[in-house]
Structure 1
Amino acid sequence: MHFNHYGGEAARLAADLANLTEPPGPSELEPLLAAHGITRRVLTVGQAKEVWEWSRRLAACFGSQELDRRCQAVNALLADSSSRPCISLHDGSPHLHYSTADADAAAHMRAVTAAGLAYVVCFADAGRLGRCARQGCGLAFVDTSRNGRRTYCSVRCANNDAVARHRGRHRGEARPTTQNT
């Protein structure tokens, strides 16, 4: 499935932020924001703390849950993102920006990720905001597969889970022996 920049890439940024396991410093966030095409990515220590707090709220939007609950979580993010969408012509063609040019990096990131999650819920499928099914993983991901049935965050987790299931089925069974004749 193909998403536009604000839908897919912003939602994938939301997933990566939701997967943070400890508060990041500004220097740890800058490459992550750059990888997702965020141009305003220089953060202060205070803004990095804001991003960490926001990431905990983003985490609540991923995984199996009722549509109503997910929409409430995304709506709360939209309400608190202080987003003021505007049309920009900076590259010659009109397109929508979800924060104003004078917004700081943290405010811009909040607006973009909230809008990205809303885009996926409204225009793709809310179930595409998943959590990895491999026991012990649980990473958030955005399912961009064609059929929307992805259950693992990566091919590696899918393969590891398949191997674990295979070994579990064959545990305790006697191994066939070969006879030398």
Structure 2
Amino acid sequence: MPIATEIPAPAPRPKRRKALWLTPLAVIAASGGLAYAVTRGGDTVDEGFKERPKACSEAMYAMDWVLPDHASDQRCTELTGGLAGHTQSGTFRMPRADVRPWLASLPGERNRREGAGSDSVVERKEGLALDILRPPGRLHADEVRVDVRWEGGDTAAVTFETFDY
């Protein structure tokens, strides 16, 4: 009669320690790569937006426009950096009688808004408005919005803003 012998179970293997340090290392590497991709290596986001004063005649020249001869109280700025692209804005005053001829002289593709005249200028009780798409010049703006507000009997306040989509 055979003797039943029990075969001992193999000894349990020692638990393998997973390399716990690999997980945080992978997370850090992935986060760093993502941050680099989003900021493009720090080219734009680190600098942020920069706003600086700019001569209104220079801002107009960048769009192949000419600042009116009798413009006064000029305040123009340029915004660069970040995701804004390159935009300009400004205000100045000019004689009311010269506004419509000046608007008609501005080069660029006209965006015909509802209520606009044959020259694409919108006439309102408080002033005029004009939208220019892709003005010529070195600025390469997608759109320029010009808003004119009547001030008193013979003065107009002109505001313009460029957009780079």
Provide TM-score, normalisation by structure 1.
0.20
Whichever structure has more strand as a proportion of its residues is 2
Provide TM-score, normalisation by structure 2.
0.21
Whichever structure has more helix as a proportion of its residues is 1
- Structure having greater relative contact order (Cα 8 Å, sep ≥ 6): 1
Which has the larger Rg?
A: 2
